[in-house]
Amino acid sequence: MNDITHHGPVPSPRQAAWHRRETYGFIHFSMNTFTGREWGFGDEDPARFVPSRLDAAQWVAAAKAGGLKALILTAKHHDGFCLWPTATTAHSVRASPWRGGQGDVVGELATACRSAGLELGLYCSPWDRNHAGYGGPDYVATYHTQVEELLTRYGDLCEFWFDGANGGDGHYGGARDTRRIDRRTYYDFPRLWESCRRHQPNAVLFSDAGPDLRWCGNERGATGVTNWAKVRPEGFAVGEVDDMDRLAHGDADGSVWRPTEVDVSIRPGWFWHEEERPKDADELFSIWQASVGRGAGLLLNLTPDRDGLIPSADGDALAGFRRRVEAFTAGDLACGRPIKASAERPGHPAVALVDGDPATCWAAPDGITTATVELDLAGERRLRGVRLEEAIAVGQRVVAFAIDGWFYDHWLELARGTTIGAQRIVELPMVRTDRLRLRILDSQAAPVLARWLVYGD
């Protein structure tokens, strides 16, 4: 693709690796698991942290059974309780009876992930409702040290997560108080991000403001139907967004590559609560369609219980979810089939869409912003859906597209959509046809697509 000029921003190598990850897991497990809260105040007694059967390998096994490619652990939530033996505070696993005060949840999960071939990411809340110095410079130094410990002790990380919840009421070392901070300046995020780049150059950094990934703007499990991976960075800061719609949809004229991460919990809460039940496989499949299917990454939260185990009902739901995805995406009917395009750039023919190689691409000549591609399925087949992928290494371009099927000597539109990006997965009516047509209805520059997969029987 060296002969194709970039259109707008393009992903960095770390972002390109993130796009390939697609579905991965969050782990919310901490003091809140034992108190029943979602946000702890910071006054919790570390003696309450007693997961009698904690088994990080069981978490990893459940995640792999669900098709998740990585796990991101909340190493410290807003209550300030640290799941690793930090030197920065007494409010940590060292003060709990678990493992005789010698435990390290982060270390155990890092070991389990490495053993099973899963990637590891970490979350460390900027807000700390336990620390007496929160709101002043002493806490900022503490927080930077905590992040540095996590960046340097646990091997390679794939992602580091910066939460946007910052400042408010808390315990703050015994003083029940409300403390406000300037979210844009207090934590010195640029210096934190520089530290992340230095110690973990392959890790993507998440926050409302990026710099690598942006929030989808909700916790329901869906990003915008129109979803640009690029944004204008003005108006975004950690915990501050001037327009929530821009988080979900991005900006067609965006100047930086900052794709969407969709975070949603398998249960109603982010932490385990005995009375709650997990979403079933069909609900999780619908979330996958509304996130991964729209070019986003799906960060699905798991909730270990007070024993320190993923509940069996949650594990069953995860395994069922994987089966639903695999059943839908099984059997690419397009690979190797005859295909032709209304326009082709020399060296980038339509056959590249169905050659099974994501490194090749079909491209229209410069100046062409609408095109059609026809695919012969070599016999009537029943359809489930399609997956389209732009060659995002040269930018995101497609504004709108449609999919047609051939019925009784004419084309009938089956689906229409906006934006493609890294991937667009479209469920089609369960109809039978022997030919499909992709119409690029509008594109910011000559369309460049890497793959067209057709799912069906």
Compute CA 449 distance to the chain's CA centroid, rounded to the nearest angstrom: 22
Q: What is the pLDDT of residue 362?
A: 98
- In which residue are the tokens 């409010």 written? 91
Q: What is the pLDDT of residue 414?
A: 98
Q: What is the pLDDT of residue 56?
A: 98
**C-alpha triplet 328, 296, 105: angle, nearest 5°:** 95
Statement: residue 237 has pLDDT above 90: no
CA distances 394 to 336, 361, 366, 417, 448, Å, are 25, 11, 13, 21, 8
Residue type, 345: R
pLDDT average, residue stretch 129-139: 96
3 state SS of 146: helix
Pair 96, 31: CB distance under 8 Å = no
Q: What is the pLDDT of residue 244?
A: 86
Q: Which fold has domain 13-329?
A: TIM Barrel (3.20.20)
Integer Cα distance of 170 and 127 in angstroms: 10
pLDDT average, residue stretch 320-343: 97
Lowest-pLDDT choice from 61-65, 206-210, 390-394 = 206-210
Pair 144, 195: CB distance under 8 Å = yes
Q: What is the pLDDT of residue 209?
A: 84
Name the residue ranges covered by the structural domains of the chain. Answer: 13-329, 339-456
pLDDT average, residue stretch 434-438: 98
Statement: residue 84 has pLDDT above 80: yes
pLDDT average, residue stretch 124-130: 97
- Smallest CA-to-CA distance from 52 within 118, 99, 120 is with 99
Q: What is the pLDDT of residue 450?
A: 98
Statement: residue 1 has pLDDT above 80: no
Pair 71, 27: CB distance under 8 Å = yes
Q: Kindly report, residue by residue over 386-420, the tens digit of the pLDDT.
A: 999 999 999 999 999 999 999 999 999 999 999 99
- The residues with which 411 forms a beta bridge, in sequence order, are 406
pLDDT category of residue 241 using cuts at 50, 70 and 90 = confident
**C-alpha triplet 217, 223, 229: angle, nearest 5°:** 95
Integer Cα distance of 256 and 272 in angstroms: 37
Integer Cα distance of 305 and 54 in angstroms: 9
pLDDT category of residue 305 using cuts at 50, 70 and 90 = very high
Q: Which fold has domain 339-456?
A: Jelly Rolls (2.60.120)
pLDDT category of residue 2 using cuts at 50, 70 and 90 = confident
Pair 311, 246: CB distance under 8 Å = no
Q: What is the pLDDT of residue 236?
A: 87
Handedness of CA 136, 166, 267, 22 (dihedral sign): negative
Q: Kindly report, residue by residue over 168-180, the tens digit of the pLDDT.
A: 999 999 888 999 9
3 state SS of 376: strand
Q: How many CB atoms lie within 10 A of CB 90?
A: 10
Average pLDDT, rounded, for the chain: 97
Q: What is the pLDDT of residue 249?
A: 97
Complete DSSP assignment for 255-273: SEE--EEEEEESSSSSS--
The reported pTM is 0.97
Q: What is the pLDDT of residue 243?
A: 84
